């Protein structure tokens, strides 16, 4: 019927060898073909940020990419964030600070902030708000998200200090 292209992609550590339509969006591939429905689609034109995932560790919008473009890359979705031991520290901080309400935009926001915190271990409020400005949330007014990010950053710094003190 339609031309198909082979794709090798690693998602949350699992390799997938698949054949897809060239026009299949990465967001639809993750949600429909792999059943990873934690990645949400809010606008399909790259504004709302709900579909943000990590591609080789960097935040990208899966609604603006074709699945075929992920060939040879590693994708992390929100399902890959928590470890068997428990929530990712950023997820815990969101829970503690009431940084989510309906939770629809939350996966994209988490995936935007993971690389941000890696690159900005001690962000100030302005930096956090600018990092968040590419993600839309209609419920929280962003305030508690900012609180959560600050808390997660502080926790991470305290953790790495205690690690290095132990070493």
Partner 1 sequence: MPERYVGARVRRSEDERLLTGRALFVDDVQLDGQLHAAFVRSEHAHGRLRDVDVSAARRRPGVISVITAADLGDYWRPGPLLVPPPPIPGLIFHTCTQVPLVRDKVRHVGEPIAMIVAQSRYVAEDALADVVVDIEPLPAVVDLEAAMAAGAARVHEHLASNLAAHVVQRTGDYDAARAAAHRVIRRRFRYDRGLSAAIENRCVVAQWDARAEELTIWDTTQAPIPIRNGLAARLGLLESQVRVIAPFVGGGFGPKIMMHYPEEVLIPWIAMQLGRPVKWTEDRQENFFATTQERGQVHDAELAVAQDGRILGIRDVFLHDTGAYDPYGLTVPINSQCTLLGPYDVPAYDTEFTAVFTNKPIVTPVRGAGRQHGVFVMERLLDLAARELGLDRLEIRRRNYLSRDRFPYDHHILFQDSAPLVYDSGDYAPALEEAAKLIGYHHFLHEEQPRARAAGRHVGLGIVSYIEGTGIGPYEGARVTVEPSGQVRVATGVGTQGQGHFTAFAQIVADVLAVRIEHVHVVTGDTREFNWGTGTFASRGAVVAGTACHAAATAVRTKVFDLASRLLETPPEGLELVGGAVRVVGSDRSIDLGALAAQANPLRGAVRPGTEPGLEATAYYGPDRGSTASGVHAMIVEVDPETAMVTIQKYVVVHDCGRLINPMLVEGQIHGGVAHGIGNAFYEQLMWDDNGQLQNASLMDYLLPTATEVPPIVIGHRETPSPLSPIGLKGVGEAGCIPTGAAFAQAVEDALADFHVEITEIPLSPDRLFQLLQRTPPQRRNQVIVEGSYVFRLPRAVVWDALQDPAVLVRALPGGMALEQQGEASYHGAMRVGIGPVTAAEFTVRVTLLDREPPQRFAMVVDGHSGLGFTRGTAQVSLEEDAAGTVMRYRAELQVGGRIAGVGQRVLDTAAKLMTRQGLELVHRELAGRRTGEASA
Query: With binding defined as CB under 8 A, does residue 47 bind partner 1?
Result: yes
The string of DSSP codes covering 33-55 is IS--TTS--S-SSSSS-TTEEEE
Query: With binding defined as CB under 8 A, does residue 159 bind partner 1?
Result: no
Query: With binding defined as CB under 8 A, does residue 57 bind partner 1?
Result: no
Q: In this structure, what DSSP letter does residue 29 have?
A: I
Query: With binding defined as CB under 8 A, does residue 145 bind partner 1?
Result: yes
Query: With binding defined as CB under 8 A, does residue 148 bind partner 1?
Result: no
Query: With binding defined as CB under 8 A, does residue 134 bind partner 1?
Result: yes
Q: Are strands 52-55 and 74-76 parallel, antiparallel or unpaired?
A: antiparallel
Q: Distance between terminal CA atoms of the chain?
A: 60
The dihedral built from the CA positions of residue 121, 87, 101 and 75, taken in this order, carries a sign that is positive
The span of 32-40, 67-75, 150-158, 159-167 binding partner 1 (CB under 8 A) equals 32-40
Query: With binding defined as CB under 8 A, does residue 133 bind partner 1?
Result: yes
Q: How many CB atoms lie within 10 A of CB 162?
A: 10
Q: Which residues bind partner 1 (CB under 8 A)?
A: 1, 21, 23-24, 31-32, 35-45, 47-48, 50, 77-79, 81-82, 87, 91, 94-96, 98, 100-107, 110, 125, 128-130, 132-146
């Amino acid at each position: 019927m339609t031309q198909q292209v082979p794709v090798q992609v690693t998602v949350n550590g699992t390799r997938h060898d698949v054949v897809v339509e060239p026009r299949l969006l990465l967001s639809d591939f993750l949600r429909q073909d792999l059943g990873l429905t934690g990645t949400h689609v809010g606008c399909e034109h790259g504004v709302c940020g709900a579909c943000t995932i990590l591609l080789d560790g960097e935040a990208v919008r899966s609604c603006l990419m074709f699945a075929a473009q992920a060939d040879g890359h590693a994708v992390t979705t929100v399902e890959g964030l928590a470890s068997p031991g428990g929530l990712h520290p950023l997820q815990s901080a969101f829970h503690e600070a009431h940084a989510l309400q309906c939770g629809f935009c939350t996966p994209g926001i988490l995936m935007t902030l993971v690389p941000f915190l890696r690159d900005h271990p001690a962000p100030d409020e302005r930096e956090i708000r600018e990092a968040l400005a590419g993600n839309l949330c209609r419920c929280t007014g962003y305030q508690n998200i900012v609180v959560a990010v600050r808390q997660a950053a502080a926790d991470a710094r305290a953790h790495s200090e205690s690690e290095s003190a132990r070493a």
